[in-house]
Chains A and B, each alone.
Chain A
Amino acid sequence: MEKPRLYDRYIRLIGIPLIGFLMPFAMHPDDFLEFGLVFRNSVFLSFTSTLLLWEGDRQLFLESRRRFPLFSQTRQRLIWQTITVVLYTLVVSVSVNYWICGKLLNFHEGTDLLSDFRINLIPTIIVTLCYESVYFFQSWKENVQKAEKLARVSLESQLAVLKSQLDPHFLFNSLNTLASMIDDNEPASAYLEQLADVYRYVLVNREKNLVSLEEEMQFLDAYIYLNKTRFRENLQIEKQLVSTAMGRRIAPLSLQLLVENAIKHNVVSKENPLIIKILEEGPDYLVIANNVQAKTILRSNGRDESTRIGLQNLRERYRLLTNQSIEITSDAVQFRVRIPLIAA
């Protein structure tokens, strides 16, 4: 592990003499005025104690950081610090009292060991609190920054995944590459062109509120082409539209949704071909109707839900676009949706 650095040189150079001087001054202000032997001894003792305590507590703090470096270990670190620091202060108090006061100076100012210990706890608490709070806030800041960065990275990667899934460039370039590979296969090339048209229309128009019926019908033709390729004559589309209707407007992808639903819900087979009719009803409505030959398996596998949401969505879009609503009628033989044609 990297050796912890504290950047506390200046604060130590100033703090140790300052506390060493201020402690006796605060305790014996009268002696200070005399500047006698008692005061000088007091300052010397106080300075020595402060130096020993500060440096020792600092080492203990570094050791506690080495043992419990994590922000989540703050509780253990604090407990460990409290115990060792109090013990150390006791040792320093006893030693200073015995060696320096007793043997070296032969100086007894009439205080007992307990009050020395209590006084010595003051610089200890200040020093330990300072170091620990700086460290605590640093770790806390790092923790917050780390969490923020993590959230951002995760968001970015999600976005990147989303983008790569949806990148239209990739899609159309790939389709173009595929087109070069199947160049001599006429039906495959034609199918690919229609597929590209379908996707391009969806991508370009999905955000729009309205498109002309003509545009939507061109797109629907491409979509039907793709489905006819799969289902052949089992899927039959009958269109009866007059040219004047083509200039009117509808919600994009609404016809496609209805055709898709019809195919999804009904049996499309040689015996039971699905017939979808797209016709005008008066100048103001378009009707999409199909014969009902429901797939029995459908209701159990959840696709019914998506269809319901799709229809609900279409109804909601028309409610917001116009004051007319779509009309759904359904019986045993026919499913029929009528959507309003909006004037250009």
Chain B
Amino acid sequence: MKASLIRCVLIEDEVLAAGRLHRMLLQADAHVEVVAELGSVAQARRWFANALPVDLIFADVQLADGLCFDIFESHPSPTPIVLTTSYDEYALRAFKHERLGYLLKPIKRSELQAIMRDFRATRFDSSTHSYGQRIRSFLARLFQFGKDQKGEVMS
């Protein structure tokens, strides 16, 4: 059976880092299409305002003009999000049990592959009724964490 295409969006303010993630994604899963690379909160907001839904979002937590949580707050969507983080957001380890969570930079091939395998296993498995619920609770906690973080990071 041919695997279905996963349409991804990358939110990353460093051009080199975005390029690397793009290449690694294509290597990790043969049926991935990166439909957009977005470099800032502002650009991402514009894009999400008009775009068709995608399957998976990879987002750097700290962007040049804000936190990625700002985007998801103004454009809530049920799309799963994988956070790519360097260090401060180490607390995001807490989200691990939500399955779709985070990648630490520098991103490892093996970890990205594990994420994509995980995604395929749950995303297209219609028997896991709790999936939607899980995503919603993940996002709820994400926003809460984003607010907490903003208090510290932005102040």
- Residues of A that sit less than 8 Å from B by CB: 168-169, 171-173, 175-181, 183, 192-193, 196, 200, 203-204
Contact = CB atoms under 8 A, between A and B. Distances in A.
Contacts, number: 51
Given A172-B106, A175-B105, A180 B86 contact: no
A193 B87 contact: no
B86 A173 contact: yes
Contact of A193 (B14, B17, B20, B108): B108
Contacts of A180: 16-17, 19-20
Interface residues on B, range: 10 to 19
17 contacts: A169-B86, A169-B88, A173-B17, A173-B105, A175-B105, A175-B106, A176-B105, A177-B16, A179-B20, A179-B106, A181-B16, A183-B20, A192-B106, A193-B108, A196-B104, A196-B106, A200-B104
Interface string B14-26: 1011011001000
B62 interface: yes
Interface of B: 14, 16-17, 19-20, 23, 62, 86-88, 90, 104-108
A222 to B, nearest CB: 12
A191 B86 CA distance: 18
Given A172-B106, A175-B105, A203 B17 contact: no
Contact of A172 (B16, B19, B23, B86): B86
Given A176-B106, A200-B104, A168 B88 contact: yes
Contacts of A171: 86-87
Nearest to A183: B20
Contact of B107 (A169, A179, A200): A179
A180 B106 CA distance: 9
A179 B87 CA distance: 16
A196 B85 CA distance: 13
Given A169-B87, A172-B105, A196-B105, 11 more contacts: A168-B88, A171-B87, A172-B106, A173-B105, A175-B105, A176-B20, A176-B86, A179-B106, A180-B16, A196-B104, A196-B106
Contacts of B62: 169
A56 B14 CA distance: 71
Nearest to A184: B23
In this complex, the member of B19, B20, B88, B90 whose beta carbon has the largest number of chain A beta carbons within 10 angstroms is B20
Nearest to B21: A180
B75 to A, nearest CB: 25
B111 to A, nearest CB: 10
In the A-B complex, the 10 residue pairs with the smallest Cβ-Cβ separation, listed nearest first, are: A180-B20, A172-B86, A168-B87, A176-B105, A180-B16, A179-B106, A176-B106, A175-B106, A173-B86, A172-B87
In this complex, the member of B23, B90, B106, B108 whose beta carbon has the largest number of chain A beta carbons within 10 angstroms is B106
In this complex, the member of B20, B62, B86, B104 whose beta carbon has the largest number of chain A beta carbons within 10 angstroms is B86
A192 B109 CA distance: 12
A171 B90 CA distance: 14
A177 B14 contact: yes
Contacts of B106: 172, 175-176, 178-179, 192-193, 196
B54 to A, nearest CB: 23
Contacts of A179: 20, 106-107
Given A175-B105, A176-B106, A180-B16, A200 B23 contact: no
Given A169-B62, A181-B16, A183-B23, A176 B87 contact: no
A152 to B, nearest CB: 19
Contacts of B108: 193
Given A183-B23, A196-B106, A200-B104, A177 B17 contact: yes
A169 to B, nearest CB: 5
B103 to A, nearest CB: 10
Contacts of A169: 62, 86-88
A196 B104 CA distance: 10
Contacts of B17: 173, 176-177, 180
Contacts of B86: 168-169, 171-173, 176
Contacts of B16: 177, 180-181
